[in-house]
Structure 1
């Protein structure tokens, strides 16, 4: 059984849970400070079981079955990278926090030669990006899109699209914390209660689809950890030509 730290979720409708207020009070939006001071309430001490379930349902792209590349932006402690590697993927983890990359490097241990870890900015321009464009078969988004500022979401969607391989690239999102109602009717999608921001599937579609990421399938995880049951949703998006 996984041991875990306290995880984000729950709280009163329209009210920020106390541990998220604590995050703001202690580290603001400084991700380096958050990792250095261990203020990471979203972290699990192991791979997310919902991700294990979602990846198992994702068939590999036929044209690149012998070399499947995956990117995890905001990779944090790196446990999901280890699972990707165990399933035959060639994973790359990116994080803006140097401390997070150090932690991930320690966690991947003997598999370090097979897992790429990059300290860098996901939003860097193509000329300065540490990542090669159109080079990934899969991008796994877990609490990355939901943690960035709302005015950065369109740029995030465009970067997802640019990094995925044409025709075969797919984005796997684990939506959490999930708004249970569409954003137009639910206070849970307010732009004032993040990070992470509570978003609905409609919120994702409104931003991802104009960027050329088309919803392919959704799945409600059956293996969510107890505090997140009913608050997670897996969604797979296919890369198409951007509008």
Structure 2
């Protein structure tokens, strides 16, 4: 399945007013051998690894839109007590099947309607490439919710494709984030520690955001 196929699935969901349903369709088709999930690769995110995070020492971490669990397992290996969620039940089944002895708590949940007990509940929150897969109609809401998980003194890590303009044809996903959208994570008591752009040569979306926020 190509990026164009992913966009067709997303467009079909959007057409019926469901901005996130395409994730389950994609994972279900991949499970049946009819598709490939473009971001399903073996290694944890190079951008996450480049942050050189300290040992978790049992601190609580939350991974937004965890998919098959590569980044969740990386954080668990650093010593974090990880909760990882995805809106796709098939993705969560895949993560559990791939990591049967994992200490990670993999759960099905919706970023746009998360469990209330997660509010201010995590010392580290990872939002990597999920908001960029959401259309403008719900993106601001998703950005605001992501920060609510961060406990006092905690850290929100935002990794995403970057743009300084609005895509001319609006095609996506992904829809790369503008600086204003990244700044929008600093809400509800969060403040930025650093917001930088890094360039990754040889990729479709070479310019990336790397942003850190704390409460």
Give CA-to-partner distance per residue, 1:40-73, whole Å, 9 cap, x none.
223322211111112x1x457xxxx643111111
Equivalent of 2:78 in 87, 110, 113: 87
What is the TM-score when the length of structure 1 is the normalising length? 0.72
Task: Tell me if the contact between 1:50 and 1:221 (Cα under 8 Å) persists in the aligned partners.
Answer: no
Equivalent of 1:122 in 103, 111, 116: 111
Q: Give the whole-Å Cα distance in 1 for the aligned partners of 2:100 and 2:112.
A: 28
Which runs of 5 or more structure 1 residues have no equivalent in the other structure? 1-5, 7-18
Distance 1:191 1:81, change over 3 A: farther
| Greater percentage in strand | 2
Distance 1:77 1:235, change over 3 A: same
Given the alignment of the two structures, is residue 23 of structure 1 paired with residue 15 of structure 2, yes or no? no
Aligned to 1:218: 195
RMSD after superposition: 2.6
Distance 1:106 1:130, change over 3 A: farther
Secondary structure class of the residue paired with 2:101: helix
Distance 1:229 1:148, change over 3 A: closer
Distance 1:230 1:194, change over 3 A: closer
Secondary structure class of the residue paired with 1:109: coil
What is the TM-score when the length of structure 2 is the normalising length? 0.81
Task: Tell me if the contact between 1:79 and 1:108 (Cα under 8 Å) persists in the aligned partners.
Answer: no
Q: Give the whole-Å Cα distance in 2 for the aligned partners of 1:101 and 1:225.
A: 31
Q: Give the whole-Å Cα distance in 2 for the aligned partners of 1:191 and 1:123.
A: 26
Aligned to 1:46: 43
Q: Give the whole-Å Cα distance in 2 for the aligned partners of 1:131 and 1:144.
A: 21
Which runs of 5 or more structure 2 residues have no equivalent in the other structure? 14-21
Task: Tell me if the contact between 1:31 and 1:97 (Cα under 8 Å) persists in the aligned partners.
Answer: yes
Give CA-to-partner distance per residue, 1:103-134, whole Å, 9 cap, x none.
111222322xx110011222226xxx275221
Distance 1:78 1:173, change over 3 A: same
Q: Name the stretch that deviates more: 145-154 or 100-109.
A: 145-154
Q: Give the whole-Å Cα distance in 2 for the aligned partners of 1:37 and 1:130.
A: 31
More contact order relative to length (CA 8 Å, sep ≥ 6): 1
Aligned to 1:102: 93
Equivalent of 2:178 in 182, 200, 217: 200
Equivalent of 2:25 in 25, 28, 33: 33
